Structure 1
Amino acid sequence: MNIRTSCLSCLLLLSVTGTDAQKYVGGDISLLTKYEENGSKYLDRNGNTIGSLLQYCKQEGMNAMRVRLFVDPANASSADKGQGVCQDLSYVKTLGKRIKEAGLKLMLDLHYSDTWADPAKQWTPKAWLTLSDEALYTRIYDYTKEVLQQMKAADAEPDFIQTGNEISYGMLWGAEGSTANRCYMGSNSNWARFTTLLANAAKACREVCPQAKIILHTERIAQTDVLKNFYDNMQAAGADYDIIGLSYYPYFHGSLAALETAVAAIESGFTGKQIMIVETGYPLKWSVPGTTYDYISVYPYTDAGQRQFTRDMITMLNKHKAVTGLFWWWFEANEYAHTGAAQVTTNWYNAPLFDNETGRATSAFYEMKRFLDASTGIATIKNKEKTTDDCWYTIGGVKTATPTQRGIYIHRGKKIVTK
């Protein structure tokens, strides 16, 4: 690659005096492999066949994808398997490598369970059930380290690591149905155990993937006091993490105003921490089972309604500089024209970014990249003779270690053209 200094730099030397954090947009596509293997057809909004969904997502402005990992999904119930629990380490390594090869960042969502982990259930993996707390501290470290080492060896090194999924009330509670080891606001019980587990998981992350950002993922959007209490406890324990991850589903958690209240509280209460919406979604045609809040008068269950929700959410999130990530959950759900004997899941997911009946990308799919519109790595530019910033920046303001392709870059106060 030949690099020459643009003559423009002779007229004006630029200095990058501050940067906003890089932003990431994409989705959780943990079932993509299964849909592809089952013959589902992905089409763009005009009905043209999408050859590679990952490449198409990159082309349409997305820059990161999320994948979940279970300890041993073979132990999950038939019902859970029927709704997408299948992601063992072998599966995740293969999909993770494809994501990285497509030029996308990878978020690894460690469930630390054999099946779904969320605020209502954080069941300990079957193989870990007989372990004492002390043994669990060692096991979570060893397991996390082994997973990350294997991911790296498979060319699927994660850029973001969630040490737990929706862990608002702790994790590794015990056998299914156990009421032990839960962490609640107003009680000191079990918090020390919980934060020790997280500390050991984080230790493995820092050792194996030192460049990766650690995410602590919760979902108490509608209960700001509980949400803040969680991160207060993390702060008091000296928890090692970088990003506050939130789930937000309007049909479960409330209006966009509720989300903004939660974001503002976190943003002001925990300065220095980035915030990512690591799960979100809105129905396309039918309600999601268990819907608590109905906003169809504002956002109908239509293509246009889903698009408007997405647009309004992004407009709000882009007002908050601490918010650096937006991920649509299960957006790849698509049973259109499948050739397999059965569907990938027992029931359709009703809030994807592809239409299960037509295979076409929804309008909201194309709205997602707007989240990056306010992302600029260059906060201010001043006329100066020199700069101490040794980073490279694209014209769009994205920081990079070195130029990776042809184009115009800003480096040490000069505009550089790479060929």
Structure 2
Amino acid sequence: MKRISGVVLSLSILTGLSYSVAPLTSTADAATFAKGADVGWLSEMESYNWAFYNDAGVKQDALQILKDHGMNSIRLRVWVNPAKNFSNKADVIKQAVRAKKMGFRIMIDFHYSDVWADPAHQTKPKDWASKDFNGLMKAVYDHTYDVLTALKAQGVTPEWVQVGNETNNGMLWEEGRASANMKNFAWLINSGYDATKAVNSSTKVIVHLSNGYDNSLYRWMFDGLKANGAKYDVIGMSLYPEKSNWQALNQQTLTNMNDMVARYGKEVMVCEVGMDASDPATSKAFLTDILNKTRSVSGGKGLGVFYWEPQSYGTWYEYTKGAFDAKGKVTIALDAFLN
């Protein structure tokens, strides 16, 4: 991408405010940089007939709206045996095939749980609850291999696979709790890594933590994983700032990304972002800045940015960080992905 001189670009906002955003000093390859969306809720929303409207107010396929706003990649979470038939293997395959046919690149996010996995919850699947640690390693391998093999049979080769979701303190607690046994967590990662590479050797494996601005967390985790022989390709991050602090947190996240590259020699990716849907202008400024900062990561090792559930709106699970308005129309926030 062409380098633009200057210290900052000023993004003028309709409200009369302006925000300083990172200039387009890109070292990442524009052709391969991922501009993505996690749309794990989409099939459930569609099952309840939630509609989506483009810039002109015309009803349209949500994925087409995302594509028309510059997005080129889709992220899908997979749960082992969820209570509803969403985000299970069959649903993920259906959505991945649909996205691939539309030209999207694919990321698969393994939670290794029947429900949400995040920094506060890493609950083993019900069917895995009685397994010992060796059994858990085998279950991680088998589940990962099974889903990826089924995807491959349908013509889908994910470009990226997450082995765990926001694993700030490991996964599959208690056995995989990192603060208690980093070696166990590393071995569980390796089970997912080995299964992924057995199906598609070119797929990049991501270890994903939240709070991408927290360098001490990342150094603690990845120093520990390195010491215990963990295998992975990419360090993934989440970032959900507030309107009052996004500029500071974006800068801290860039500093952390560059540190991860220098310290571990790994590529980095912002796997989840979100911002208050009620202020799309500020959200656009935030997104423009974090996209440009990720492109600027040293050595071109910033792989991309994914917006988490941008198509969510209104009262859907009371989630308020989507990029559609209360009536289901896309907002200017997603215009950030056009560049």
TM-score by length of 1: 0.68
SS in structure 2 at match of 1:325: strand
In structure 1, the partner of 2:124 is: 124
Structure 1 spans left out of the alignment, 5+ residues: 1-17, 75-80, 175-179, 286-301, 336-342, 371-419
In structure 2, the partner of 1:216 is: 207
Contact 1:221 1:253 in 2 (8 A): no
In structure 2, the partner of 1:151 is: 151
Cα 1:315–1:145, aligned 2, differ >3 Å: closer, same or farther? closer
Cα 1:269–1:311, aligned 2, differ >3 Å: closer, same or farther? closer
- How far residue 56 of structure 1 moved from its aligned partner, in angstroms, is 3.4
In structure 1, the partner of 2:338 is: 369
Distance (Å, rounded) in 2 between the aligned partners of 1:324 and 1:140: 26
> Structure 1 stretches (4+) deviating beyond 6 angstroms?
none
- How far residue 32 of structure 1 moved from its aligned partner, in angstroms, is 1.2
In structure 2, the partner of 1:41 is: 51
Q: Deviations over 1:170-226 (max 9, x none)?
A: 10004xxxxx64223xxxx41111111111111010010112111110114343112
1:100 is aligned to 2:100:
yes
In structure 2, the partner of 1:396 is: none
Contact 1:275 1:322 in 2 (8 A): yes
Contact 2:260 2:268 in 1 (8 A): no
Paired residue for 2:33, among 20, 23, 26?
Answer: 23
1:319 is aligned to 2:290:
no
Distance (Å, rounded) in 2 between the aligned partners of 1:283 and 1:226: 25
Distance (Å, rounded) in 1 between the aligned partners of 2:229 and 2:328: 47
- How far residue 253 of structure 1 moved from its aligned partner, in angstroms, is 11
Amino acid at match of 2:282: G
Distance (Å, rounded) in 1 between the aligned partners of 2:28 and 2:113: 38
Distance (Å, rounded) in 2 between the aligned partners of 1:108 and 1:19: 22
- Where relative contact order (Cα < 8 A, 6+ residues apart) is larger, the structure is 1
Cα 1:260–1:238, aligned 2, differ >3 Å: closer, same or farther? farther
Contact 1:216 1:245 in 2 (8 A): yes
Q: Deviations over 1:222-271 (max 9, x none)?
A: 43112112111222233221111000000399533234324323423434
Distance (Å, rounded) in 2 between the aligned partners of 1:314 and 1:181: 33
Contact 2:79 2:113 in 1 (8 A): yes
Higher mean displacement: 107-116 or 315-324: 315-324
- How far residue 360 of structure 1 moved from its aligned partner, in angstroms, is 1.1
Distance (Å, rounded) in 1 between the aligned partners of 2:171 and 2:113: 9
Distance (Å, rounded) in 2 between the aligned partners of 1:279 and 1:253: 19
1:63 is aligned to 2:72:
yes
Q: Deviations over 1:326-379 (max 9, x none)?
A: 0010111145xxxxxxx7x4x332111111x22211001121232xxxxxxxxx
Q: Which has the larger Rg?
A: 1
Distance (Å, rounded) in 2 between the aligned partners of 1:232 and 1:360: 44
Cα 1:141–1:277, aligned 2, differ >3 Å: closer, same or farther? same
Q: Deviations over 1:391-418 (max 9, x none)?
A: xxxxxxxxxxxxxxxxxxxxxxxxxxxx
In structure 2, the partner of 1:409 is: none
Structure 2 spans left out of the alignment, 5+ residues: 1-26
Contact 1:222 1:253 in 2 (8 A): no
Q: What percentage of aligned pairs have identical amino acids?
A: 30
SS in structure 1 at match of 2:272: strand
In structure 2, the partner of 1:172 is: 172
Amino acid at match of 1:326: V
Contact 2:291 2:304 in 1 (8 A): no
Q: Which has the higher helix share?
A: 2
1:303 is aligned to 2:296:
no
Distance (Å, rounded) in 2 between the aligned partners of 1:208 and 1:103: 21
Contact 1:228 1:265 in 2 (8 A): no
In structure 2, the partner of 1:283 is: 276
Cα 1:65–1:269, aligned 2, differ >3 Å: closer, same or farther? closer
Cα 1:306–1:258, aligned 2, differ >3 Å: closer, same or farther? closer
Amino acid at match of 2:306: F
Q: Deviations over 1:280-332 (max 9, x none)?
A: 010122xxxxxxxxxxxxxxxx2322222223333433332322210010111
Cα 1:352–1:87, aligned 2, differ >3 Å: closer, same or farther? same
Paired residue for 2:234, among 227, 243, 248?
Answer: 243
Distance (Å, rounded) in 2 between the aligned partners of 1:200 and 1:45: 44
Higher mean displacement: 247-256 or 112-121: 247-256
Distance (Å, rounded) in 2 between the aligned partners of 1:110 and 1:119: 15
SS in structure 2 at match of 1:257: helix
Contact 1:25 1:369 in 2 (8 A): no
Amino acid at match of 1:47: G
Distance (Å, rounded) in 2 between the aligned partners of 1:243 and 1:169: 18
SS in structure 2 at match of 1:250: coil
Contact 1:109 1:161 in 2 (8 A): yes
Q: Deviations over 1:45-79 (max 9, x none)?
A: 221222x32233223321101010101112xxxxx
Distance (Å, rounded) in 2 between the aligned partners of 1:97 and 1:351: 27
Q: Deviations over 1:17-68 (max 9, x none)?
A: x984821001100111122232222111221222x32233223321101010
In structure 1, the partner of 2:191 is: 200
Cα 1:217–1:269, aligned 2, differ >3 Å: closer, same or farther? closer
Distance (Å, rounded) in 1 between the aligned partners of 2:28 and 2:289: 26
Amino acid at match of 2:148: L
Distance (Å, rounded) in 1 between the aligned partners of 2:193 and 2:251: 29
Distance (Å, rounded) in 2 between the aligned partners of 1:206 and 1:221: 26
Contact 1:162 1:216 in 2 (8 A): yes
